[in-house]
Structure 1
Amino acid sequence: MIENNGHRLAFHVTKGHGPTIVLDAGGGEDSSYWKGMVRKLHAATGAKVITYDRAGLGESEVVPGPWEVGSAVSDLKTGLRKLGVTRDVILVSHSQAGEIATYLAKENPKLVSGAVLVDASLPPLYTDEVIARLVAANQPAVDAAKKDPSKPKNRQLISTAESYIPMHKAYHQVSWPDTVPATAIVSEKTPFAGSPEDAQRWRDAAATFVGKGPHRTLVTAKGSSHDIPKDRPALVLKEIKKMRAAQGQPRH
């Protein structure tokens, strides 16, 4: 348990060597999301592997009020520092955790040596038009969550909705640092399997992200839902191993 800004967070560490691999789950999910991946990843790489529960999820304490990506970035950075991890971090970030990864990498390019962004929320998606569409589409789920706000997933959905518009308007302007390699794995079905138009926007955002800088690779998880780590774990493992193997190689 690690304290940051008055609340405590649960970090889980599998000891190893070389670059540290940090697995960060998507919205409403805690470290248990990666349960099947940690053992395989450690066996395949021998790396130190860290998972953690964001505030209000798993064993970590609740932080009242709207969800703030800056607070989430602070929680992760502080946790890593207190665990003695100050460089050579490979982020593996699913869905909403892509927002944490983007800000963490931008603000700390010497801490993050690479990232595998797994069907991640990426800045190019969030035009004003898309934000409005997503707010409208999510409203029924938010209204349903408010009927039982004690559930961690519901609480997280409500807190994210409270800050969604200004947070994503700002996120749309954030750029990934050119010095940090990134692999974006995009699912075939995306989070918007029921909306072909929004699914295409999600795929286009990943392609735009990759095209905006050097050392970026786009990988499509064919046949996969948004839950690529569950549907295509071998693919995620393969891309993490490739990213780890590339560390220390000269970049051109």
Structure 2
Amino acid sequence: MISTNGHRLAFHVTPGHLPTIVLDAGGGLDSSYWKNLVPVLAGDTGSEIITYDRAGMGASDEVPGPWKVQDAVSDLAAGLRQLGVTHDVVLVSHSEAGEIATSFVNDHPGAVAGAVLVDASLPDFYTPGELSRVIAANQAQIATLAKQPSTKQTRQLLAVAQDYGPAHQAYHQMTWPQDVPAIAIESAKTPFDTSPADARLWRDAQAAFVSHAANRRLVVAANSSHDVPIDRPDVVVKAIQDMIAEVGRT
């Protein structure tokens, strides 16, 4: 348990060598999302592996108020710092965690050697028109969540919704550092498998991201939903192995 800013966070560490693989799950999910992948990665890579529960999820304390990416970045940084992990990180970020990854690599230069972004939320997706459509489409879902029994997952999702518009307007302006290599894994269905227009823009955002630097590439996970680590763990493991080979090990 890591203490920071008045709350505690659960971090889970599998010992190994550098680079350290840090697995960050998507919105409303905790470290258990990676439970089947961790032993495979440990056996295949020998790397130290870290998973954790963001505030309000799993065994970590809840923090009231709207979810802010800056708070999530601060929590992750504090946990890694207290664990002595300050460099040679391969960051593996799924879905919403792509937003944390983007802020983290900008705020902590030199900490991340490379990243695998698994069907991740990327800045290019949040054009003004798309953001308006997503907010409108989410209204019914938010209203339904508010009526459901309160759980950690529903409270976390509602916290994200509170500041969604302004937060993603700002996120749309962010960029990924040119010196941090990345592999973007795109799912076959995207998170918008019932909305062709949204799905197309999601794919366009993945393609735009990798086009911005020569040290990025795109992998499409065939036959997968948005939950690529569940549906196609082999694709995720291969991308992590490739990134470790690119950044080296110590």
What residue is the counterpart of 2:58 in the other structure? 58
What residue is the counterpart of 1:33 in the other structure? 33
- Amino-acid identity (%): 59
Q: Structure 1: which 5+ residue stretches go unaligned?
A: none
Q: Describe the SS at the equivalent of 1:19.
A: strand
Residue 145 of structure 2 aligns with an amino acid whose one-letter code is: A
Counterpart mapping for 1:187-198 below 5 A:
187-198=187-198
Displacement, 1:107? 1.5
Counterpart mapping for 1:203-222 below 5 A:
203-222=203-222
* Contact 1:95–1:120, Cα closer than 8 Å, also in 2: yes
Displacement, 1:228? 0.3
Counterpart mapping for 1:51-90 below 5 A:
51-90=51-90
Displacement, 1:147? 1.4
What residue is the counterpart of 1:114 in the other structure? 114
What residue is the counterpart of 1:138 in the other structure? 138
C-alpha separation between the residues in 2 aligned to 1:9 and 1:187? 30
Q: Describe the SS at the equivalent of 2:154.
A: helix
What residue is the counterpart of 1:15 in the other structure? 15
C-alpha separation between the residues in 2 aligned to 1:179 and 1:78? 23
Residue 114 of structure 2 aligns with an amino acid whose one-letter code is: G
Residue 140 of structure 2 aligns with an amino acid whose one-letter code is: P
Q: Describe the SS at the equivalent of 1:18.
A: strand
What residue is the counterpart of 1:180 in the other structure? 180
Matched, 1:229 2:229: yes
Displacement, 1:213? 2.0
Q: TM-score, structure 2 length as denominator? A: 0.98
Q: Structure 2: which 5+ residue stretches go unaligned?
A: none
Displacement, 1:222? 1.2
Residue 8 of structure 1 aligns with an amino acid whose one-letter code is: R
C-alpha separation between the residues in 2 aligned to 1:137 and 1:36? 33
* Contact 2:19–2:248, Cα closer than 8 Å, also in 1: no
* Contact 2:23–2:93, Cα closer than 8 Å, also in 1: yes
C-alpha separation between the residues in 1 aligned to 2:221 and 2:20? 24
Residue 13 of structure 2 aligns with an amino acid whose one-letter code is: V
Residue 232 of structure 2 aligns with an amino acid whose one-letter code is: R
* Contact 2:142–2:161, Cα closer than 8 Å, also in 1: yes
Displacement, 1:248? 3.7
* Contact 1:109–1:179, Cα closer than 8 Å, also in 2: no
Q: Deviation per CA, 1:225-252, whole angstroms, max 9, x where unpaired? A: 0000001000100000010111149xxx
Q: Deviation per CA, 1:7-44, whole angstroms, max 9, x where unpaired? A: 10000000000200000000000000000000000000
C-alpha separation between the residues in 2 aligned to 1:217 and 1:229? 18
C-alpha separation between the residues in 2 aligned to 1:94 and 1:46? 22
Q: Describe the SS at the equivalent of 2:17.
A: coil
C-alpha separation between the residues in 1 aligned to 2:107 and 2:55? 21
| Segments of 4+ moved more than 3 angstroms | none
What residue is the counterpart of 1:2 in the other structure? 2
Displacement, 1:149? 5.7
Q: Deviation per CA, 1:52-89, whole angstroms, max 9, x where unpaired? A: 00000000000100000000000001000000001000
Matched, 1:246 2:241: no
The two structures, once aligned, show a CA RMSD in angstroms of 1.0
Q: Deviation per CA, 1:110-150, whole angstroms, max 9, x where unpaired? A: 00000000000000000111111111111111111111362
What residue is the counterpart of 1:168 in the other structure? 168
